[in-house]
Structure 1
Amino acid sequence: MKNVFFAIALVFSISLQAQLKSPEEFLPSYGKTVSYYYQVENYFGHLVQNSEYIQHKPYGQTTQERGLNVYYISTPENLRDLENIRLNNLYQIGMGDTKPATINDKAIIWLSFNVHGNEIGATESAMSVAYELINPENKETKEWLENTIVILDPCLNPDGFSRYGNWLRDISGKNTHPGIYDREHIEPWPGGRQNHYAYDLNRDWAWQTQIETQQRMLLYNEWMPMVHVDVHEMGFNEPYFFPPAAEPMHEFITDAQKDFYNNIGEMTAKKFDSEGWNYYTRERFDLFYPSYGDTYPTFNGAVGMTYEQGGIGAGRAITMTNGNLLTLQDRIDHHTAAILTAVETTSWQKDKLVKNFRSYFKEGKEEPKGKYRTYVVKNSGKTEQLARLLKRNKIEYAYAAESKKTSGYHYQSDAVKDFTIEPNDLIVSVNQPKATLTQVLFEPAQKLTDSLSYDITAWALPHAYGIESYALKGKLSIDIKKEISRKGKFDYERLYAYYVPWNGRASAKVLGLMLKSGIKVRSSRKASAFRGIKVSPGDLMILKGDNPQLSDFKNVMEVFLDKKPDYEVVESGFSLSGGDLGGENYPLIETPKVLLLAGRSVSATDFGQVWFYMDEVINYPVSIVEVQDMDRIRLSEFTTIVLPDGWYSLSESDKKNIDNFIDNGGKVIAIANALSIFEDRPGYNLTKFATSEAKLLETTAEDEEVLQSRFYDYQNAERRALSGSVPGAIVENVLDKSHPLAYGLGDKYFSLKTSDSRYELLKNVWNVAYVPKGYKNFGFIGKSLKKKLENTVTFAVQQKGRGQIIYMVDNPLFRGFWENGNLLFSNALFLVD
């Protein structure tokens, strides 16, 4: 009987294999033009239906409701034991409580394609890679799969991929146009690189602001692969890049991880050498910033790698500067060979990978790499948002259940201080499986081995969240609890108003919800006190007397405040100190009507950061208009205009309309390069130098530099340029805490500075946040720039006519993870009047 069943199974398996089609057989235009996303999904569906070597796992949807999918590829025997293999992997590194039924050690490699939507060679090659892995004629790949689980995600960014692909299909004819000036090589704004909200998903791995990342990381943390390959494309004139990566490499990257980089580089080089394909290693793409598709897996114990094929802007085919024709099929072939080599090397190194992966977690917990062992984050309105980030990253934390005096490094003063841990303070110990990632995200300063970094060089979470925090060198002995304990509400006899502290994004979201629902809200302008309530500047008050339209004021308000549990009821408008609720210190907040500029002269990612903030962070309506359509807009219908970073070239008519808008009571929020619209223009006080003497001094220094440059060599030009640059550093700012733009930000503001743009302290404006003399900074700032940043403004507010303009030299919404920046932007939107 067993033989009969075996024979039936064998016939069924052969039948399945006979129906299996290659991408070229399934898709008539494969390799000639971009596939539609539904075609990609259909092809993988075909593979699943016709092979025992692949299983489908949907893991979510994009903002535009496209499917997010991974495919498990291995032998049928391994796929039948897939859950046991997963649980075994987690259990062995301390991230799983369930002991597996049997020990089944396999190498686990995760392949991620097309995090940037317009890098189409990645997703196209994902189909070829999947086919070759399960192709019954390919005996070699079947051997690899015996000890390897491949998790293949064919497209991390379906919305961007579809935006680019649909456009390319729309404008393409029967013939290719390899000349660089054809429209298929000139992608329209905002491009397909980013997701729906124009976010760069490849910078979002750690911060997980975007829905695609959040859903993917849930699955990633359920598997914790040992190898991760992030498949990209770069400018079409570039050859191919594969590991080893360039310096700077973060000091926490282990020798075992570096050894694998070298091994895979040698193996891939042999493949490319045999084909005569151009490539390079080590020159670009460092391993430092923790939120990439190579570094984030690396700090989670994996060997994280970036693979880059020249192709962005190539369309279907393009003539490179060397005269060769680069086709889409070429890009597929190169990627397929490189990625299959990564799978082969993973299989070959299976035993070593498994051993080193487990050692990474054991040693990280027992012998932490960083300077500190415990991090204490004081309880505030922003602490809970930080806890959500830690939870998404599977970083363990707890809350203090008692008070305790101790000392530790104080982030805000950059010094060791005595302090008291109080109940509900957040405690993060590195004595946990994710010890290394925890230290990477919390360490005050990261060691930079080379200043030629590809990205920002500082990101410490206590500064990003603007929360008073401490780092301790030793373990902390203290009673802890899992959740924050909230005190009960004060008993009250009568209801006069509701108090809501202004202490994070939840405050801004609740305020926006109330304003767009027609509820009148007041904001405190100075400290005051009521029974049991200490009111700080910026805190919200919702008075029953302001809202007679709410017949059931109590029940309506408690529905609005359901997500803001730290509210209180105020019995009387008569204060114990400060000002009464009906006085001038509690003005009504105007309901903003917001216009956001978009279009070709606007940075797509910076536009997206504002759009995402409005749509997802605070859920507040915003009208989006492209710059070229400004002359069709009646600006008087809005109260606020947001100008994201960009390269504006406004007509004089458009500038005049903005001038009139401000003079008549409007508010403009200008970010980064948008400030150029107002620099040195009549009526505006934005100028780079405060005095003619300061301007002359810098001009003289620049002239001297030009003279000195006559003796410079050619080779070190790039490094000399770094002297005047800042790729991304945390910079201390002094705050005018009395100004509404600074409410809730703390005693200081630490800004993430990503450009060398600077303005000396402005005259006749409110310099709300500025870089002081002798400021503290974390991360790389070029030597010649560092001194020039002293006494320069970061955020300022100018009164003009009946309106205001808010100058934001730095972008507070950068990548959405600078939580204190989210609050600062909320101040600009709602509280500055």
Structure 2
Amino acid sequence: MTKNLYAALLFVTASISALAQLKSPSEFIPNYGKQISYYHQVEDYFKYLTENSALIKKQQYGLTNEQRDLNLYFISDAENLKNLEQIRLNNLASIGLSDSKSASTQDKIIVWLSFNVHGNEFAGTESALTVAYELLNPSNEETKKWLKNTIVILDPCINPDGYSRYGNWLREISGKKNHPGLYDREHMEEWPGGRYNHYLFDLNRDWAWQTQVESKQRIKVYNQWMPQVHTDVHEMSYNSPYFFPPAAEPLHEFIEQYQKDFHNVLGKNISQKFDKQNWMYNTRERFDLFYPSYGDTYPTYNGAVGLTLEQGGIGAGREITMENGTNVTIKDRLTHHATAVLTVVESAASQKEVLLKGFRDFHTNARKKAKGVYNTYVLKGNAKLEQLTEVLKKNDIEFSYADASANASGFHYQNKKTESFKIEPNDLIIKADQPRSVLTQVLFEPNQKLNDSLSYDITAWALPLAYGVEGYAVKNALSVKTKTAIEIAPKNIPASVYAFYVPWNSRTSAQILSILHQGGIKVRSAMKKAVFGTITIEPGGLIISRADNPKIADFEKTVSEIIKIKSDYSFITTGFSANSKDIGGENFVLLKAPKILMLSGKGIVSTEFGANWHYLDEVIKYPVSIVETSNFNRVKLYNYNTLILSDGSYDFSDDQKKHIDEWIKNGGKVIAMSSAISLFQDREGYALSMFASKEDKEKSEKEEKEIELKKRFLDFEGSERREISGTIPGAIIENKLDKTYPMAFGLGNTYYSLKTNERSFSLLKNAINVAYIPKNFLSYGFVGNDIKKKLPETVTFAVDKRGDGSVIYMMDNPLFRGFWENGILLFSNSLFLVN
């Protein structure tokens, strides 16, 4: 035997040996199951697996805000991995999303596993390592059988930034010994915690809206695969027993029987595994399938069996003593998860034919079902359609634009009545009869049908109301001529322009104003309608004049380059108006560039702070100074003219409150959101009070006492359901607007607010009630009977003028989860147009 041949044989032998002895996570990562793994260790282990197994492939699908990799791993037998692309195309072809079907490649079941959407629920990612190992383990004969007809797509960490934030903190404060006592610091996570991503968004509520970079990149790939099963792996309070399907009520009416049936299969199969180990669990409680932007519901509305797995572990650190006296460790948590997840894969493999048929029937039935509900959604031409179509594109929902006029009749979202209307060119047309029919109908359904009012999340989200676009849901098919895009004629800008006009009607308007302010370009805003020849300037409209900006070189080119991102801009050649509203008159107010301070830290609701931060940093890209509340005394407040107080509890001293009072009187503006308004409630000099009069207060207190007396005769069993009568988990509420005030500019005739709290204040005296709930208000989603009686004639957004400054009260958060488009414009009004 030659030397070279001997060396080659040794290499082959060593390679075979390595494949036969694949290292487990505990052999690869020090202290695996005892301490949280660093994210780089997670990546290193998967790199090791891909280099030492022929059954796994990696795809990096993106980067986080903090530049960490987002990775997917495809696990199946070697033959399937060779044909991965054709398997994907075959799957899409089976539901009408591809024409590239090949008979040579057999149909496979696709199971997508998502771990750690919440960064501090870290046992998810830890379990992903064990799941991957067991699927690839050469000595595991069972998993080899599953992978013959199964493609597993494994995302070990959806939220690497949150996971790393939590992991670094836990590592830093950990000693050599575990401390399972409840009061050790490893069980008391510091603000803002690791649950959320970089901008402190809850990624598990962002699947449909895709406001965050992680969601945008992940769901683009998800929609290219369309799995039959999607598993979302979570943790909850450490005292809670394990949760697995079936899911709780309410279940959306569009969920098919095959999805419910497989939930029951999973419940039986996982319970058998857990029973053998005497592990505690529960099913059909708490976690429902309704709100469309979760990691279980979004896949469900796309035809998959979407499911949530929940292990008790939040706040447990490395180990903690539960209320039953037993300790739960990292090892316990990841083992429970790995057992449940592997059972999902096993169950899917064994139910391949049933799942494939159900998945395909789901899409066929959905298109048939569309004819029985609403066939078409028509949204009237509006500047906000640009943002709405972006959401449709992200979700691969088909749409077109009307290319002719036609008469139609449909359910009008804004008044909840069926009425006749006229379709006009450039109106948006969305048909329910399309490949993603169910998701389309769920996002546009005018009235969500709850079969149980104990919902885990918001209960209304109709996109026309969220985007402030007049819309109709039509039952009958429409035969109007359509086109794929709106043609925009190029603008011929003359050599000399008196002023440019940018309509104030969408987030793009605010983005332009942000750029202009940062460039030191002076801008005016119209208080009332003004007419200049063929150009009508609506209230809020931005005017950039040569007279205000004499030092700008090549005025026309400089300004037009900035504002061209908004196609409806125009220009005027004279400052002389046709209706006595000249550019140099009182109608056009010179806007002051905000100098913003925003507080963060303990006591502030991290997601609400994050929504504000994301709006400033990502949506309008405007500078903001962020200061911890503990450092507020060190701030020179007069260096700023705007203070944003996100929802939360602010423990200001009397001296600090007086300092803020003086700053407001001298021209400062406070935007106080949700519970932050309590800083000004019933304080001398401010208009904010829960009751308009002493009599109203006494009447309310009397009613509360009477209710308490009646409760004495009620049974305990119904107490939970009685409690929800006074709640509003998330519903759309009609608000009447004062259209003459800048905070309402561009919002239309009515504002529909997403209300997620029970806070209610009577219309304020000596203040501007910009938006309030009228007597016979319209609502969408669940509103408890008791709270519904309290809401009429209560204020939602108000401005309290004090001296030269003002306080803006926001009872609801218009930036909630970053998807309420009309709320983004309302907040922009508050920031830029209200002095």
- The question of a shared fold, defined as TM-score above 0.5 by the shorter chain, is answered with yes
Aligned to 2:363: 361
Q: Of 648, 651, 659, which residue of structure 1 is paired with 2:650?
A: 648
Is the contact between residue 71 and residue 151 of structure 1 (CA under 8 Å) also seen in structure 2? yes
The one-letter amino acid paired with 1:64 is E
Q: CA RMSD in A?
A: 1.4
List runs of 5+ in structure 1 lacking aligned partners: 1-6
Q: Greater CA deviation, 177-186 or 480-489?
A: 480-489
Is the contact between residue 492 and residue 569 of structure 1 (CA under 8 Å) also seen in structure 2? no
Displacement of 1:416 in angstroms is 1.8
In structure 2, distance between residues paired with 1:721 and 1:200:
26
In structure 1, distance between residues paired with 2:598 and 2:681:
20
User: What SS class does the counterpart of residue 642 from structure 1 fall into?
Assistant: strand
Is the contact between residue 84 and residue 102 of structure 1 (CA under 8 Å) also seen in structure 2? no
In structure 1, distance between residues paired with 2:118 and 2:755:
25
Aligned to 2:197: 195
Aligned to 1:63: 65
Aligned to 2:5: none
Distance 1:531 1:488, change over 3 A: farther
Aligned to 1:102: 104
Is the contact between residue 409 and residue 420 of structure 2 (CA under 8 Å) also seen in structure 1? yes
Aligned to 1:240: 242
Aligned to 2:777: 775
Displacement of 1:276 in angstroms is 0.4
Is the contact between residue 496 and residue 556 of structure 2 (CA under 8 Å) also seen in structure 1? no
Displacement of 1:8 in angstroms is 11
In structure 2, distance between residues paired with 1:603 and 1:119:
19
* Aligned ranges 1:402-801 → 2 under 5 Å: 402-489=404-491, 492=494, 494-801=496-803
Displacement of 1:405 in angstroms is 2.0
User: What SS class does the counterpart of residue 329 from structure 1 fall into?
Assistant: helix
Displacement of 1:633 in angstroms is 0.5
Q: Greater CA deviation, 212-221 or 549-558?
A: 549-558
Is the contact between residue 179 and residue 319 of structure 1 (CA under 8 Å) also seen in structure 2? yes
Displacement of 1:418 in angstroms is 2.0
In structure 2, distance between residues paired with 1:595 and 1:219:
38
Aligned to 1:211: 213
Aligned to 1:822: 824
Is the contact between residue 373 and residue 429 of structure 1 (CA under 8 Å) also seen in structure 2? yes
User: What SS class does the counterpart of residue 255 from structure 2 fall into?
Assistant: coil
Q: Of 133, 144, 147, which residue of structure 2 is paired with 1:145?
A: 147
What are the Cα deviations for residues 219-265 of structure 1, in whole angstroms up to 9, with x where unaligned?
00000000000000000011100000100111111111100000010
What are the Cα deviations for residues 311-363 of structure 1, in whole angstroms up to 9, with x where unaligned?
00000000111000100000011000000000000000001111111111111
In structure 1, distance between residues paired with 2:719 and 2:518:
54
In structure 1, distance between residues paired with 2:718 and 2:741:
45
User: What SS class does the counterpart of residue 405 from structure 1 fall into?
Assistant: strand
* Aligned ranges 1:286-435 → 2 under 5 Å: 286-368=288-370, 371-435=373-437
Aligned to 1:282: 284
In structure 2, distance between residues paired with 1:754 and 1:118:
25
In structure 2, distance between residues paired with 1:351 and 1:665:
69
In structure 2, distance between residues paired with 1:490 and 1:419:
35
Displacement of 1:488 in angstroms is 4.3
Displacement of 1:493 in angstroms is 6.5
What are the Cα deviations for residues 279-320 of structure 1, in whole angstroms up to 9, with x where unaligned?
000011011111000001000000000000000000000011
Q: Of 172, 175, 181, which residue of structure 1 is paired with 2:174?
A: 172
In structure 2, distance between residues paired with 1:330 and 1:706:
45
User: What SS class does the counterpart of residue 717 from structure 2 fall into?
Assistant: coil
Displacement of 1:114 in angstroms is 0.2
User: What SS class does the counterpart of residue 85 from structure 2 fall into?
Assistant: helix
Q: Greater CA deviation, 71-80 or 524-533?
A: 524-533
Displacement of 1:99 in angstroms is 3.2
Displacement of 1:509 in angstroms is 0.4
The one-letter amino acid paired with 1:324 is T
User: What SS class does the counterpart of residue 790 from structure 1 fall into?
Assistant: coil
Displacement of 1:626 in angstroms is 1.1
The one-letter amino acid paired with 1:83 is E
Is the contact between residue 20 and residue 139 of structure 2 (CA under 8 Å) also seen in structure 1? no
What are the Cα deviations for residues 143-170 of structure 1, in whole angstroms up to 9, with x where unaligned?
0001100000000000000000000000
In structure 1, distance between residues paired with 2:764 and 2:105:
67
Aligned residues: 828
Is the contact between residue 86 and residue 101 of structure 2 (CA under 8 Å) also seen in structure 1? no
Is the contact between residue 596 and residue 644 of structure 2 (CA under 8 Å) also seen in structure 1? yes
The one-letter amino acid paired with 1:402 is A
Displacement of 1:100 in angstroms is 3.3
What are the Cα deviations for residues 72-123 of structure 1, in whole angstroms up to 9, with x where unaligned?
0000010001000000001110112333363421000100000000001000
Displacement of 1:649 in angstroms is 2.0
The one-letter amino acid paired with 2:93 is Y
Q: What's the TM-score, normalizing by structure 1?
A: 0.98
Divergent runs of 4+, >4 A: 7-13, 490-493
Is the contact between residue 118 and residue 204 of structure 2 (CA under 8 Å) also seen in structure 1? yes
Aligned to 1:808: 810
In structure 1, distance between residues paired with 2:493 and 2:592:
31
Is the contact between residue 495 and residue 556 of structure 2 (CA under 8 Å) also seen in structure 1? no
Aligned to 1:4: none
The one-letter amino acid paired with 2:645 is L
User: What SS class does the counterpart of residue 274 from structure 2 fall into?
Assistant: helix
Is the contact between residue 91 and residue 100 of structure 1 (CA under 8 Å) also seen in structure 2? no
The share of aligned pairs that are identical, in percent, is: 57
Q: Of 81, 84, 91, which residue of structure 1 is paired with 2:83?
A: 81
In structure 2, distance between residues paired with 1:156 and 1:466:
32
Displacement of 1:733 in angstroms is 0.3
The one-letter amino acid paired with 1:126 is A
Q: Greater CA deviation, 12-21 or 531-540?
A: 12-21
In structure 1, distance between residues paired with 2:248 and 2:15:
46
Aligned to 1:41: 43
Displacement of 1:489 in angstroms is 3.0
In structure 2, distance between residues paired with 1:338 and 1:658:
54
Is the contact between residue 19 and residue 50 of structure 1 (CA under 8 Å) also seen in structure 2? no
User: What SS class does the counterpart of residue 733 from structure 2 fall into?
Assistant: strand
In structure 2, distance between residues paired with 1:205 and 1:343:
23
In structure 1, distance between residues paired with 2:192 and 2:570:
44
Q: Greater CA deviation, 640-649 or 731-740?
A: 640-649
Is the contact between residue 290 and residue 297 of structure 2 (CA under 8 Å) also seen in structure 1? yes
User: What SS class does the counterpart of residue 746 from structure 1 fall into?
Assistant: coil
Is the contact between residue 252 and residue 369 of structure 1 (CA under 8 Å) also seen in structure 2? no
The one-letter amino acid paired with 1:648 is Y
The one-letter amino acid paired with 2:621 is N
In structure 2, distance between residues paired with 1:602 and 1:369:
47
Aligned to 1:3: none
Is the contact between residue 297 and residue 303 of structure 1 (CA under 8 Å) also seen in structure 2? yes
In structure 1, distance between residues paired with 2:102 and 2:517:
53
User: What SS class does the counterpart of residue 587 from structure 1 fall into?
Assistant: strand
Displacement of 1:381 in angstroms is 1.3
Displacement of 1:577 in angstroms is 2.3
In structure 1, distance between residues paired with 2:397 and 2:580:
42
Q: What's the TM-score, normalizing by structure 2?
A: 0.98
What are the Cα deviations for residues 539-581 of structure 1, in whole angstroms up to 9, with x where unaligned?
1110011111211111111221131122112111111225111
Is the contact between residue 84 and residue 101 of structure 1 (CA under 8 Å) also seen in structure 2? no
